Amino acid sequence: MQPDNRIRDLVIVGGGTAGWMTAASLAEHFRGSGLKITLIESSAIGTVGVGEATIPTIRRFYQSLGLRDLDVLKATHGTVKLGIRFDGWLHDGSSFIHPFGVFGQDLRNIPFHQYWLRLRAGGEATDLGDYSLAVALARAGRFTTPSPNPPSTLSVFDWALHFDAGLFAQLMRRTAERAGVRRIDARIEKVETDAGSGHITGLLLDNGDTVRGDLFVDCSGFHGLLIEGALKAGYEDWSHWLLCDRALAAQGHVTSPPPAFTRVTAHKAGWRWTIPLQHRTGHGYVYSSRHISDAAAEAELLAAVGADLKMAPRRITFTPGRRRQAWKGNCVAIGLSSGFLEPLESTSIALIETGIEKLKQLFPAREIDPFLVDEYNDWSRREMERVRDFIILHYWLNRRDDTAFWRDCRSVALPDTLAGKVEMWKRRGHMVRYRWEMFQPASWLAIYAGFDCLPDGYDPGLDGMDLPSLSRGLAGMRKGIADAVADCPTHEEFIDRYAKVD
Ligand code: FAD
């Protein structure tokens, strides 16, 4: 008989958002298989405790665990996020929304934005946001869940949540523990490795116990306790592309009515987030320590929102970049231990979701196949680079001239992958898509248009179009959206009716 080569004991280190999401999802996936999952966290160390804005993939994630939108909104004191409003990023006074969902309607296999550009070239410049239901809802402060059978693609939009990350981790913990995950509250003092294979064999805890396992998932956050502390997987520093490396996080009073979008406001050496929850408003300043001192950054934050704060801001330091090998030996890093870009566009929790998905797809046997490890690392690298490029674009396209920070952002040398994309956009209005793109063409379009970076021309296939009928067609789209929005409840009414915390 063949020896049983299956992984039997899986150990997750860390009980932040990453640890509990991983535990809940793997427990559900391996239900009934005999896989034992243990999670070790230290309540004395605590978690990062930010991460309040998400993207729509989070809904697919918790739905796969049997959780419903309204229950999660309620359990996490959440609100609806239809997109992000960028204030002052292009120049002072500028504002645009990056929505979740498409703009307009593609026709004859030609993307909508080509029609929009054609009309523009013909002398009628309309606001791209008027062709997005998510933008229209966000601007009007209204919300309803998307129709399951939309009458047209004009009604297609998506939404995500603003939530209390601590409450979300607790929800994940309850889900994981119900599915049989064992929790140990202790500090790991030493990581034992096998001298021959380099694999992790056990974790020594401060209570004197040793926890053994076949496979370890490092969710220890910036500590990278296993993946870096023990296995020295290495870190690729991207701070020459992404200048922000600090954040000040604080909480303020409730915003009424709560906007259904995250607000990100340009500041002297970075940007400030405003995230409305049902019981508080999250505020934070993300900045570059090369361009402003911590004290000056705090003074800037306090000048903007100090009157609203319920607490002194907490400082968090990070190095934008990624772990060179997110999977090394018998250890897979998920969450902040695998890297962090910065909070803009709320990608970190989404990267936790895809990390878990990849691990499920490539789940190894006890004798670990190096092919699977290489695949995981290759997918992770590509995915993280695609997200990195998208974030860099936001800074690179700014036209602010007030501080060295914004000028330096403009003079960053773009990675080749991004430079090629931008050229194709400028020359042909074409969206290049690579594998492992987290952000779809509509998101890129929102950023290009929001920063007024538009191609000179349009698809020549539209040269023969009759401009007056194109103009009427697009006016019809705008009206259809405006009419649909007018019938929706306000975001506040929606929360009060369906997801209000008692
Ligand atoms: P942590 O929350 O740090 O958890 C680490 C865990 O490891 C803890 O349980 C700790 O106790 C445990 N641990 C560490 N060392 C030991 C030890 N020796 N023994 C035992 N246990 C140990 N993401 C988003 O998607 N949206 C956002 O809006 C967003 N905003 C952010 C803003 C800022 C300023 C920052 C820094 C991050 C933000 N993120 C955001 C990222 C998000 O916070 C993280 O992705 C998420 O919280 C996951 O963190 P984690 O679980 O990897 O690490």
Q: How far is the CA of 369 from the centre of ligand 1 (A)?
A: 29
Among 476, 393, 402, smallest CA distance to 98 is for: 393
Residue of 81, 268, 328, 421 marked catalytic = 81
Task: Please tell me the predicted confidence (pLDDT) of residue 159.
Answer: 97
Instruction: Note whether residue 26 is domain-resident.
Output: yes
Predicted confidence (pLDDT) per residue in 378-400, tens digit = 999 999 999 999 999 999 999 99
With contact defined as beta carbons under 8 Å apart, do 61 and 242 qualify?
Answer: no
Indicate whether 55 belongs to any domain. yes
Structural domain for 209, as ranges: 9-77+163-239+320-386
Report which of 277, 238, 232, 275 is spatially closest to residue 79, judged by C-alpha positions: 277
pLDDT surpassing 70 at residue 335: yes
Position 150 scores a pLDDT of: 64
Q: Looking at the predicted structure, is the pLDDT value of residue 151 above 70? A: no
Ligand 1 closest atom vs CA 219 = 52
Residue 473 lies in a domain: no
Strand partners, 204: 190, 210
pLDDT at 148 over 90: no
**Looking at the predicted structure, is the pLDDT value of residue 155 above 80?**
no
Nearest atom (ligand 1) to Cα of 18: 51
pLDDT digit string, tens, across residues 487-497: 899 999 999 99
162 burial level (CB within 10 Å; 0-12, 13-18, 19+): buried
Residue 144 CA, ligand 1 centroid: distance in Å: 31
How do residues 270-305 score in pLDDT, each as one tens digit?
999 999 999 999 999 999 999 999 999 999 999 999
Centre of ligand 1 to C-alpha 230, Å, is 19
How many other CB atoms are found less than 10 A from the CB of residue 239? Answer: 15
DSSP-based three-state secondary structure for 61? helix
Cβ proximity of 10 and 214 under 8 Å: yes
- For a pocket test of ligand 1, which of 12, 22, 48 has the largest count of ligand atoms closer than 8 A to its C-beta? 48
Query: In sequence order, which ranges of 30-83 are alpha helices (DSSP H)?
Result: 57-63, 69-75
Please write the tens of the pLDDT for every residue from 1-56.
Answer: 667 899 999 999 999 999 999 999 999 999 999 999 999 999 999 899 887 999 99
Domain presence at residue 424: no
pLDDT of 53-100, one tens digit each?
999 999 999 999 999 999 999 999 999 999 999 999 999 999 999 999
Q: Is the pLDDT of residue 197 over 80?
A: yes
Residue-level pLDDT at 30: 97
Sheet containing 314-317: order of strands: 95-99, 83-87, 262-267, 270-276, 281-287, 246-252, 314-317
Determine the average pLDDT of the residues in 128-155.
Answer: 85
Share the mean pLDDT of the chain. 95
Confidence check: pLDDT of 152 > 70: no
For the segment 119-148, the average pLDDT, to the nearest whole number, is 94
Residue 154, pLDDT score: 53
Contact criterion met (CB below 8 Å) for 82 and 99: yes
Q: How far lies 88's CA from each of 39, 54, 96, 398, in Å?
A: 43, 22, 9, 9
Calculate mean pLDDT across residues 177-195. Answer: 98
Region 162-174: mean pLDDT is 97
Residues with CB under 6 A from ligand 1: 14-19, 40-42, 45-48, 50-54, 165, 187-188, 219-221, 223, 225, 247, 249, 284, 316, 318, 335-337, 343, 346, 348-349
Whether residue 336 is contained in a domain is answered as: yes
Report which protein residue has its CA nearest ligand 1's atom 40: 51
Q: Which atom of ligand 1 lies closest to the CA of 346? A: 26
First-to-last C-alpha distance (Å) of the chain: 58
Q: Closest ligand 1 atom to the C-alpha of 187?
A: 19
| Interval 341-370: pLDDT, tens | 999 999 999 999 999 999 999 999 999 999
Q: What is the pLDDT of residues 245-262, one digit of tens each?
A: 999 999 999 999 999 999
The residue whose CB lies within 8 Å of the most ligand 1 atoms, and thus the one to mutate among 21, 47, 218, is 47
Residue 265 lies in a domain: no
Instruction: For residue 367, give the CATH number of its domain.
Output: 3.50.50.60
Amino acid at position 206, single letter: D
Q: How confident is the model at residue 435 (pLDDT cuts 50, 70, 90)?
A: confident
Task: Tell how far the Cα of 349 is from the centroid of ligand 1, in angstroms.
Answer: 10
Q: What is the pLDDT of residue 501?
A: 86
> What residue's CA is closest to ligand 1, atom 39?
51
Average pLDDT over residues 218-233: 98
Q: What's the gap in Å between 247 CA and the centre of ligand 1?
A: 14
Most informative mutation of 348, 349, 384, 387 for ligand 1 (most atoms within 8 A of CB): 348
Question: Does some domain include residue 449?
Answer: no
| Across 433-456, average pLDDT | 95
Distance 152 CA to ligand 1 centre (A): 40
Would you call 74 a catalytic residue per the annotation?
Answer: no
Q: How far apart are CA 72 and CA 346, in angstroms?
A: 18
Q: Tell me if 29 is assigned to some domain.
A: yes
Per-residue pLDDT reduced to its tens digit, 463-479: 999 999 999 999 999 99
Total domain count, the chain: 1
- How far away, in angstroms, is 202 Cα from ligand 1 center? 23
